[in-house]
Structures are given as C-alpha cells and as structure tokens.
Structure 1
Amino acid sequence: MLPAVLAVVALLLAGCVSMPSKGPVVDSPVIGGADTRRASDIDARPPGEGASRSDIVGGFLDAMTAWPVQINVAKKYLTEEAAAGWNPEQRTIVYTDVQPVRESGGAVQVRLTAADALDEAGAWTGALSGTDLQAEPSG
C-alpha cells in the first residue's frame, strides 16, 4: 500500500514541474562580473609569520604545485640572495611524492620519491638516485 501511495505522490509532484514553452526571453543581469578562475586552479600561499624552517621548506614545495604556475609566491620562501640567483627554468625536477619534511640537527631534509630531471628545454635528462633524491636546503 505504501509503495502505491508514494508512486501517486511522485506522479502528482512530477506534474507540477515543466519547462516553459511560451513567454518572453529575458536576459538576467550578471552578478559579480566575469570570473576567470577554473576549478583546476590551485592557489599558492605565501609563508606565514613566524613559520619554522620545516614550514618554509614544505610551503615552498606546496607553492611550486600551484596552478597556473606562479613562481612569485614560491620566491617569497627564499632568502633575498637565493631568490636573486634562482632560475627555475634552468632545471626542473619532477617527482612522484615527497616524504614528510624533517628537521634534524639544524638541517631540514626533504626526500623525494621517483624523481626525474628535465633540462631548460624540458627534455628528460635522467632519473635521480641516491643523494640526488635528498635535498638539504641551506639557510
């Protein structure tokens, strides 16, 4: 009995919904203007006040994953000297994953998983191995 009642209610409600077939076409006002952002956009966040060395390294790596690419935020994680000498177009390292950033004895360590290097033209120059998979940022 209950399924029959539900079916009748569903039919009655479906009869109340229809697509208009006549009447004027009206343009609605645009609210908020054009938004050029896409769902695939990933915003880079600058370093926070009082961030630890581990937070700086992790934040730099996160900023480098921003899409569309915006290295200006990643540069904020570098010292003035390092930012002035950094040329990200000279060499690119792509990797599958990053192990958690660790701080030990005054050094911050980042270990990359399955990393490869690309040259300035974007050509593959080989897989990184051994100590190339571990970076110890200075500063």
Structure 2
Amino acid sequence: MSIVSELRGLLDNIEPPVFRIVGGAAEFAALAGEPKATPAAYVLVEEEQSEDNARMTGPVLQRVEADVAVIIVTRNVSDNTGAAAAEEIEALKAKVRGALMGFVPSGLGSDPITHVSGNLLKAKSGNVWQRELFAAAYYLEEQP
C-alpha cells in the first residue's frame, strides 16, 4: 500500500466523517472547476527528494523525503463576509493535521508524518482551497 493510499484512508475514516470526497492526484487533475461535493480532500505527492546512498558497500540504501500535499476544498455561502467559509477551513485543517501528524506508514521503514506548511490557494465566492503540506520520509533499499 502506498503512503498516499494510507493517508487517504486516514482522512476517509475521520469520525465523525468530515469529507464528502477523498481523492488522489487523478481526481484532482480531473477537476475542471469546483468539486461535485464539498468538503473535499485530495492527497498527492508533490515531490520526492532522495539522499545519497547511506552505505559504503553492499546494497544501496537511501532515505527519501516525500512532500505530500492535502488540498482541502470547502464551500460555505451562509454569510456575505466569507467568515463562515474561513471558520470551516480552519476546522478542516485541524482535522487533517490531527489525523495525519505522527502517523507511521506501513512498510518501507517509514518515519512519522510531520507537518511542513499550510497555505491558502484560493478564496472566492464562498469557496476556499487550502494546501496542507506534510513530510513523509521512508527508505529505499536495493534488492540484490
């Protein structure tokens, strides 16, 4: 199971459920505009950086740090100021961070997930798009 699949599963299993859609890179790329239902979360690997080989001899062993983005999309037009949407995105950010931070993905000798950053991507007409970036470090080992 991939790190993205595991993180999607964690978001899908938040109790009580908060997301109507939990998708991956393909679903995010297929968006032509707003998601069909909100709140929605899309989990995708943005970048992977591999360190140098940790061994002098023998099979290659490298630590890889993946930047995993969770794109949160919500819509709340219950007021004219956008305050309701802003409050909702704050609550969703807290749920995502709470579900993912410290989780240790299975296999690959992974380290616990850590939060890197969060930034507002777009806010308009009651729609808010927020990107939360997490670090997921794991190890690759050459199979002799």
If the TM-score is normalised by the length of the shorter chain, which range does it land in?
under 0.3
TM normalised by structure 1 equals 0.24
Q: Which structure carries more relative contact order (alpha carbon 8 Å, separation 6+)?
A: 2
| Structure with more of its chain in strand, by fraction | 2
Q: Which entry has the higher C-alpha Rg, 1 or 2?
A: 1
| Structure with more of its chain in helix, by fraction | 1
TM normalised by structure 2 equals 0.24
